[in-house]
C-alpha cells in the first residue's frame, strides 16, 4: 500500500511560509492533481514529497512509513518514488537506452533483465526505434516519453510529475495528457501531478487539490471542483466563472456561475423569471463558440454561447441565471 | 548524509583557500606595518617620500595607462574587423591574436631585445643599412619606458580584443535593424546603438590591459634593468636583493594590491549593469559590413599589429635558436644546432628546471582543477551555508598581483612551523593560487549551467549524492574540467612573477632559467628554451581543443 499522507506540512523560505499547513491523504493508486497559479506552493509541496526539501513542521508518510519530518528526512534515493521534471532532466551524455536503464543499473539487476525491461517500457511509450539516440537528437514529445519511461521502468510506488507538459506545443500536450493517464491506468502507481493548467488537471486526475498561497483551497473530483466551486478563487481559477452579487439570482451572498450557464436572450423572455437587461460590450468568435461580454447592472458578465447566437456589440440583451447553476459562495475567507 | 559530505568538502576547501590567500595577505599586511622595534608606519613613510619608490610608481602608472589607451585604439577596430566585416583571413587573425595572448610577456620582451636593442637589434641594423646611418645611431630603443609600453601593449591587447570581439558578436542584429528602420544612417547606428552596447566591454578590456601591464614582472625586468630604471614590480623584486628589505617590499605591495582591488571593482560595476545583460545573451544573427576595397586596408592594419606581436618576435627567436651568434640573418654558413645541444646536454640547470616545471605544472593544474571543481560545485549549488564566503575566497586571488602573492607567500612560509621556502611546495602553492581563479570561474560557470533537476532525477532513481556526482555531474562537466586543467597548466609553465621571489637553485623552473640566461646575455639558449615552452603550450592547447564538447550538447539540449 502506498497511501500518501501529508499532515500539517509547513515549509518556509526566508521565514515566509510557502507551504502553510497542508493536510492531504492520497489513496493508493489514485491520480491526484495539485492545481494552482504560480507561486501557490505546489512545486514546493511536490519537492517535499520527493524528499528534496525538509519540512519545517508536519510530516509526510507513505504506506504508514514516515518519510519526512523536521530534521528527519529519508533521502530521495530511498523513497521508491519516480519523478518527471519540468525540464525532463534527461542526461545529455547518455543514450535513450542508458537514460532509461540507469535506475535498473543502480539496482544491480542482471544485464539481460535490464535490457528486457528497458525494451518493454520503451515499447510501451513508443520509443523502441530511438533507443540509441541521445536526448539532444529527440523532439520535445519524444524527450517527454523518455522521461516517462525512465521514471516508470523502476516500477515506482509513487510517480511525481512537475508541470510535465508545459514545454510541449498544444497538440502534443493534449496527446501526452492521455498518455500519462493511460500509463497510470496500466501500472497503477500513485500519481501526484503538479500543474497550473486546469484543463490538464481535469483531463487526467481522479482528485484535484486546488492550492492557493500554500493552503488547500478545495479538494474534490473534477466534477465537484468545476460544478461546485467553494470559493470565488476556485470558481475563477478552474474553468472561468462569473462571480456576481447575490441580487442577480435572488441570493443573500455572492454566487458563481459558469460562462456557458448564463442564458442570453435577444428579447425579454415572456414567461418570466427575472431576467436582467444588459448591453453587449464585446463579441469574439472562437469557432466552436462565441464569447460575449455584457454590461448589466453595473457588472461585466462573460458569457459563452453557441456560435449561432449572434448579437452585435451595442445591442440590448436579456440574461437569465438558472438557479440550479448558481453556486452560493462561502463568505470570503481570510486565507487570501 | 549529503549535507555531511558537502560540509566536509566545504571545510577542506576553506582550509586550502586560507592557506593560499588569507595567510599570505595577512602576513603581508602585518609585515608592512612592522619595523625592527615593533609596529610602525615607517615603511609607508619611506614609500611615499623616497624618490626611488615614487618614481617607479609614476612610471608604472603612466606606462600602464598608455598601454590601456593603445589597446583600446587597436583592439576596437581589430575586433570590429574580425567580428563584423568581410575582411579576408579573419579566422587566421583571430588565431594569431590568441597566439599573442598565450605568449609570455617576458619571452616577447626578450624577442624584442633581439629586434630593437639599440646596437645589435635587427631593426636598428636594417635601418642603418637602408638609410645609410652611422653605426652610433639607432632608431629604436627597447630599453626605455616607450619600449616597455610597446611590448606590454603587444601582449595585453588580446584581452581587450577578446572582450570587444565577443561583445560585437553577441549584439543581436535586431537591435541595429531597429535603429536602421527608424531612419538612422549606419554611422549613426554605430555611434548611438552599437558603441554604447559594447562600451562596457571596451572599458573592461582597457582595465584588464592596465592591470596586466601594471602587475607584469617578466617583461618589465627584461627591459627596465639594463636601462637602469624600475617599475613597481621590479622595485619590489629589487627589495629582495641583498640586503633584503621584506617589510618595505610588503608595504610597496600595498598600493598595487589596493589599486587592483579598486579597478576590478570598477570593472564589475561597469559590466554588472543590468541594462547590458543582453550582451551576454545568446549568439544571434549579426550584420556583416561589406568593406569593398577597404578590406585590404583593414587586413593590412591587423597584419601590421600581428607582425609586431607574433611574426617578428617569433622570427627573431627562431633565428637566435639556430644561428651561431644572434642576431644575424640566417645563412647556410652560420646555421647551427649548438644552442639546442648546449641547452639539453650541457646546461646544468636544464634537467632540474624541466623536471621542476613539469612537476609544478602537472601538480598545480591537477590540484587547482580539483579544488575548483569542489568549490565551483558547492558555490553553484549553494547547498552549504557560507557558500558566499567560499565564492569570495575563491575569486580573491584575481585581485592579488602575482608578485604581491610572491611576497606574501615568502613572508608566510619562511617562519616555523610552516618552513616551506626553498621547497617546491611554496612554488606549488604560488602557482595553484595564481591560476586558481581562472579554473574556478570556468568550473563554477559550467556547474551552474547544469540544471539541478539532472541531478535530482538521478537521486530519485536511487543514486546516492556521490554516485550522482560521478555518473552525471562529472561527465557533464568534463570538457570544462579539461579546459580548466589546460589553462592552469599553461599558466604554470610560464609563471615568473612569483617564482622569481620564491625559487632557490634546486627549485628553478624553465621560466626562471630563461630569466637568468637573459641576464648573462645567452640569447641562443633562451630562444631554444622559449620555443620549447611555446611548443608545449600549443600542444596542450591543441589537446584542450580536441576534447569532445559534451557540455555544448547539453546546452543545446536545454535550449
| Bridge pairing between strands A4-13 and A57-62 | antiparallel
Q: Say what the alpha-carbon torsion angle B161, B162, B165, B166 is, to the nearest 10 degrees.
A: -160
Q: Which of B453, B457, B550 sits opposite A92 (nearest CB)?
A: B550
**Average model confidence (pLDDT) across chain A:** 89
Contact B459 A89 (CB under 8 A): no
CA distance B266 to B147: 28
Is B556 within 8 Å of chain A by CB?
A: yes
- Can you give the pLDDT at residue B559? 33
Contact A76 B464 (CB under 8 A): no
Is A13 within 8 Å of chain B by CB?
A: no
Q: Which residues face A282 on adjacent strands?
A: A293
Q: Is A240 helix (H, G, I), strand (E, B) or coil?
A: coil
Q: Mark residue A273 as left, alpha or beta (left: phi above 0; alpha: psi -120 to 50; beta: remaining).
A: left
Digits of tens for pLDDT over chain B (559 positions)? Answer: 445 677 888 888 899 999 888 999 999 999 999 888 888 888 899 888 888 999 999 999 999 999 999 999 999 999 999 998 899 999 899 999 988 888 999 999 999 999 999 888 889 988 888 888 888 888 899 999 999 999 999 999 998 998 898 888 877 777 787 787 888 888 888 888 888 888 888 988 899 899 999 999 999 999 999 899 999 999 999 998 888 888 899 999 999 899 988 888 887 777 765 444 444 444 456 678 888 889 999 999 999 999 999 999 999 999 999 988 877 778 888 888 888 888 888 888 889 999 999 999 999 999 999 999 999 998 888 877 888 888 888 888 888 889 999 999 998 988 877 788 889 999 999 999 999 988 998 898 888 888 999 999 999 999 988 899 899 998 988 888 988 898 899 889 889 999 999 998 899 999 999 998 988 888 899 999 999 999 988 888 887 776 654 334 433 433 3
- For residue A283, CA distances in Å to A310, A315, B537 come to 9, 11, 72
| Model confidence pLDDT, tens digit, residues A220-238 | 999 999 888 888 899 888 8
- Can you give the pLDDT at residue A335? 40
The shortest C-alpha distance from A307 to chain B (Å) reads 40
| Model confidence pLDDT, tens digit, residues B314-361 | 999 999 999 888 777 788 888 888 888 888 888 888 899 999 999 999
- Can you give the pLDDT at residue B77? 94
Is A140 within 8 Å of chain B by CB?
A: no
| Model confidence pLDDT, tens digit, residues B249-306 | 999 999 989 998 888 888 777 776 544 444 444 445 667 888 888 999 999 999 999 9
Q: Say what the alpha-carbon torsion angle B21, B219, B96, B329 is, to the nearest 10 degrees.
A: -150
CA B532, distance to chain mean position in Å, is 19
Which of A43, A81, A93 to mutate to test binding with chain B, by most B CBs within 10 Å of its CB? Answer: A93
Is A134 within 8 Å of chain B by CB?
A: yes
Which of B385, B446, B454, B462 to mutate to test binding with chain A, by most A CBs within 10 Å of its CB? Answer: B462
The shortest C-alpha distance from A81 to chain B (Å) reads 6
- The residue length of chain A stands at 336
A26 grid coordinates: 492520497
Chain A residue with the nearest C-alpha to that of B455: A89
Contact A76 B460 (CB under 8 A): yes
The shortest C-alpha distance from B381 to chain A (Å) reads 13
Q: Is B236 helix (H, G, I), strand (E, B) or coil?
A: helix
CA distance A320 to A298: 16
Is B92 within 8 Å of chain A by CB?
A: no
Instruction: Tell me what ipTM this predicted complex has.
Output: 0.80
CB atoms within 10 A of CB B227: 15
| Bridge pairing between strands A255-258 and A327-328 | antiparallel
Chain B residue with the nearest C-alpha to that of A78: B462
| Model confidence pLDDT, tens digit, residues A254-277 | 888 999 999 888 887 766 566 788
Cis peptide bond N-terminal to A56, omega within 30 = no
The shortest C-alpha distance from B436 to chain A (Å) reads 27
The shortest C-alpha distance from A285 to chain B (Å) reads 35
Residue B556: list chain A partners with CB under 8 A. 136
Of B448, B450, B444, the closest CA to residue B481 belongs to B444
Is A282 within 8 Å of chain B by CB?
A: no
Chain A residue with the nearest C-alpha to that of B475: A93
Q: Which of A78, A93, A102 sits opposite B476 (nearest CB)?
A: A93
Contact B456 A136 (CB under 8 A): no
Residue A105: list chain B partners with CB under 8 A. none
Q: What is the mean pLDDT of residues A110-119?
A: 94
Is A87 within 8 Å of chain B by CB?
A: yes
Contact A102 B461 (CB under 8 A): yes
A85 grid coordinates: 521534471
CA distance A87 to A97: 19
| Model confidence pLDDT, tens digit, residues A284-318 | 998 899 999 999 988 899 999 998 888 999 999 99
Residue A106: list chain B partners with CB under 8 A. 461-463, 467
Q: Which of B456, B464, B475 sits opposite A89 (nearest CB)?
A: B456
Contact B557 A86 (CB under 8 A): no
Contact A77 B1 (CB under 8 A): no
- Can you give the pLDDT at residue B556? 40
Q: Which of A77, A81, A136 sits opposite B464 (nearest CB)?
A: A77
Q: Which of A81, A91, A135 sits opposite B460 (nearest CB)?
A: A81
Which of B461, B479, B555 to mutate to test binding with chain A, by most A CBs within 10 Å of its CB? Answer: B461
Is B463 within 8 Å of chain A by CB?
A: yes
Contact A77 B453 (CB under 8 A): no
The shortest C-alpha distance from A74 to chain B (Å) reads 10
A220, A231 Cβ separation under 8 angstroms: no
Q: How confident is the model at residue A331 (pLDDT cuts 50, 70, 90)?
A: low
Residue B457: list chain A partners with CB under 8 A. 83, 85, 89-91, 150
Domains of chain B: 43-325 (1.10.3720.10), 340-559 (1.10.3720.10)
Q: Which residues face A319 on adjacent strands?
A: A264, A276
The shortest C-alpha distance from A100 to chain B (Å) reads 10
Q: Which of B454, B459, B467 sits opposite A91 (nearest CB)?
A: B454
CA distance B268 to A2: 53
CB within 8 Å of A252: residues ≥ 6 apart: A246, A328
Q: Which of B453, B459, B462 sits opposite A87 (nearest CB)?
A: B453
CB atoms within 10 A of CB A332: 12
Q: Which of residues 474-513 of B touch A (CB under 8 A)?
A: 475-476
Alpha helices in A64-108 (DSSP H): 96-106
Alpha helices in B230-348 (DSSP H): 232-238, 246-272, 294-306, 312-322, 338-341
Chain A residue with the nearest C-alpha to that of B479: A93
Domains of chain A: 4-231 (3.40.50.300), 240-328 (2.40.50.140)
| Bridge pairing between strands A158-162 and A81-84 | parallel
Q: Which residues face A242 on adjacent strands?
A: A257
Largest CA distance in chain B: 83
Chain B residue with the nearest C-alpha to that of A161: B457
The shortest C-alpha distance from B476 to chain A (Å) reads 7
Amino acid at each position: 500500500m502506498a497511501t500518501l499522507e501529508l499532515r500539517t506540512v509547513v515549509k518556509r523560505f526566508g521565514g515566509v511560509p510557502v507551504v502553510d499547513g497542508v493536510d492531504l491523504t492520497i489513496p493508493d493508486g489514485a491520480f491526484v492533481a495539485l492545481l494552482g497559479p504560480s507561486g501557490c506552493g505546489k512545486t514546493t509541496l511536490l519537492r517535499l514529497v520527493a524528499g528534496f526539501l525538509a519540512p519545517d513542521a508536519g510530516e509526510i508518510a507513505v504506506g504508514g512509513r514516515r518519510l519526512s519530518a523536521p530534521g528527519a528526512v529519508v533521502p530521495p534515493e530511498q523513497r521508491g518514488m519516480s519523478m518527471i521534471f519540468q525540464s525532463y532532466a534527461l542526461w545529455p551524455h547518455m543514450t535513450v537506452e542508458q537514460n532509461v536503464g540507469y535506475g535498473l543499473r543502480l539496482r544491480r539487476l542482471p544485464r539481460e533483465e535490464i535490457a528486457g525491461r528497458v525494451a518493454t517500457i520503451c515499447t510501451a511509450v513508443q520509443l523502441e526505434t530511438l533507443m540509441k539516440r541521445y536526448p539532444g537528437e529527440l523532439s520535445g514529445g519524444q524527450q517527454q516519453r523518455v522521461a516517462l519511461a525512465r521514471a516508470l521502468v523502476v516500477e515506482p510506488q509513487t510517480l511525481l510529475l512537475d508541470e510535465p507538459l508545459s514545454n510541449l506545443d498544444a497538440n502534443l500536450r493534449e496527446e501526452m495528457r492521455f498518455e500519462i493517464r493511460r500509463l497510470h491506468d496500466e501500472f497503477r502507481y500513485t500519481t501526484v501531478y503538479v500543474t497550473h493548467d486546469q484543463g490538464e488537471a481535469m483531463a487526467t486526475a481522479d482528485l484535484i487539490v486546488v492550492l492557493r498561497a500554500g493552503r488547500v483551497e478545495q479538494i474534490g473530483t473534477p466534477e465537484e471542483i468545476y460544478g461546485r466551486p467553494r470559493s470565488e478563487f476556485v470558481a475563477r481559477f478552474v474553468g472561468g466563472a462569473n462571480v456576481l452579487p447575490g441580487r442577480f439570482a435572488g441570493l443573500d451572498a455572492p454566487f458563481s456561475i459558469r460562462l456557458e450557464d448564463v442564458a442570453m436572450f435577444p428579447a425579454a423572455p415572456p414567461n418570466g423569471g427575472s431576467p436582467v437587461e444588459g448591453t453587449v460590450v464585446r463579441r469574439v468568435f472562437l469557432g466552436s463558440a462565441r464569447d460575449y461580454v455584457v454590461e448589466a447592472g453595473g457588472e461585466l458578465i462573460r458569457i459563452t454561447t453557441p456560435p449561432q447566437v449572434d448579437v452585435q456589440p451595442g445591442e440590448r440583451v436579456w440574461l437569465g441565471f438558472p438557479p440550479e447553476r448558481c453556486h452560493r459562495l462561502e463568505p470570503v475567507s481570510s486565507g487570501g | 548524509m549529503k549535507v555531511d559530505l558537502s560540509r566536509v568538502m566545504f571545510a577542506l576547501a576553506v582550509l586550502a583557500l586560507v592557506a593560499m590567500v588569507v595567510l599570505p595577505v595577512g602576513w603581508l599586511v602585518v609585515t608592512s606595518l612592522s619595523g625592527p622595534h615593533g609596529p610602525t608606519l615607517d615603511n609607508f613613510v619611506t614609500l611615499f617620500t623616497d624618490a626611488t619608490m615614487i618614481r617607479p610608481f609614476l612610471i608604472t602608472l603612466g606606462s600602464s595607462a598608455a598601454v590601456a589607451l593603445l589597446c583600446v585604439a587597436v583592439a576596437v577596430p581589430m575586433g570590429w574587423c574580425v567580428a563584423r566585416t568581410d575582411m579576408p583571413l579573419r579566422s587566421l587573425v583571430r588565431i594569431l591574436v590568441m597566439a599573442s595572448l598565450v605568449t609570455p610577456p617576458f619571452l616577447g620582451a626578450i624577442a624584442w631585445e633581439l629586434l630593437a636593442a639599440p646596437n645589435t637589434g635587427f631593426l636598428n641594423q636594417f635601418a642603418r643599412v637602408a638609410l645609410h646611418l652611422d653605426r652610433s645611431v639607432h632608431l629604436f630603443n627597447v630599453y626605455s619606458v616607450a619600449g616597455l609600453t610597446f611590448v606590454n601593449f603587444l601582449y595585453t591587447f588580446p584581452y581587450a580584443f577578446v572582450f570587444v570581439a565577443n561583445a560585437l558578436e553577441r549584439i543581436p542584429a535586431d537591435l541595429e535593424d531597429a535603429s536602421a528602420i527608424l531612419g538612422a544612417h549606419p554611422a549613426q547606428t554605430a555611434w548611438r546603438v552599437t558603441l554604447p552596447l559594447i562600451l562596457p566591454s571596451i572599458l573592461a578590456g582597457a582595465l584588464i590591459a592596465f592591470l596586466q601591464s601594471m602587475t607584469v614582472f617578466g617583461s618589465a625586468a627584461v627591459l627596465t634593468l639594463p636601462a637602469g630604471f624600475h617599475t613597481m614590480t621590479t622595485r619590489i623584486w629589487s627589495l629582495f636583493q641583498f640586503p633584503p628589505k621584506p617589510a618595505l617590499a610588503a608595504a610597496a605591495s600595498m598600493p598595487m594590491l589596493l589599486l587592483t582591488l579598486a579597478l576590478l571593482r570598477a570593472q564589475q560595476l561597469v559590466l554588472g549593469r543590468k541594462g547590458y545583460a543582453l550582451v551576454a545573451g545568446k549568439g544571434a544573427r549579426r550584420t556583416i559590413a561589406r568593406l569593398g576595397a577597404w578590406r585590404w586596408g583593414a587586413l593590412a592594419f591587423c597584419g601590421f599589429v600581428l607582425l609586431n606581436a607574433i611574426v617578428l618576435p617569433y622570427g627573431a627567436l627562431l633565428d637566435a635558436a639556430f644561428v651561431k651568434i644572434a642576431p644575424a640573418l640566417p645563412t647556410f654558413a652560420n646555421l647551427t644546432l649548438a644552442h639546442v645541444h648546449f641547452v639539453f646536454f650541457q646546461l646544468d640547470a636544464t634537467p632540474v628546471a624541466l623536471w621542476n616545471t613539469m612537476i609544478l605544472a602537472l601538480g598545480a593544474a591537477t590540484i587547482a582543477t580539483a579544488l575548483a571543481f569542489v568549490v565551483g560545485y558547492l558555490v553553484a549549488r549553494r547547498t552549504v551555508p557560507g557558500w558566499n564566503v567560499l565564492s569570495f575566497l575563491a575569486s580573491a586571488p584575481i585581485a592579488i598581483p602575482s608578485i604581491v602573492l610572491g611576497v606574501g607567500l615568502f613572508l608566510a612560509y619562511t617562519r616555523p612551523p610552516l618552513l616551506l621556502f626553498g621547497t617546491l611546495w611554496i612554488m606549488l602553492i604560488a602557482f595553484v593560487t595564481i591560476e586558481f581563479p581562472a579554473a574556478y570561474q570556468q568550473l563554477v560557470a559550467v556547474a551552474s549551467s547544469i540544471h539541478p533537476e539532472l541531478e535530482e532525477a538521478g537521486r530519485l532513481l536511487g543514486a546516492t549524492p556521490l554516485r550522482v556526482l560521478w555518473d552525471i555531474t562529472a561527465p557533464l562537466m568534463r570538457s570544462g574540467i579539461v579546459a580548466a586543467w589546460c589553462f592552469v597548466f599553461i599558466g604554470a609553465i610560464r609563471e615568473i612573477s612569483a617564482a622569481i621571489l620564491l625559487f632557490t637553485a634546486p627549485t628553478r623552473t624553465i621560466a626562471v632559467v630563461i630569466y637568468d640566461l637573459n641576464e648573462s646575455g645567452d640569447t641562443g639558449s633562451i630562444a631554444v628554451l622559449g620555443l620549447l615552452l611555446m611548443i608545449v603550450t600549443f600542444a596542450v592547447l591543441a589537446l584542450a581543443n580536441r576534447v569532445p564538447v559534451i557540455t555544448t550538447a547539453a546546452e543545446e539540449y536545454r535550449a
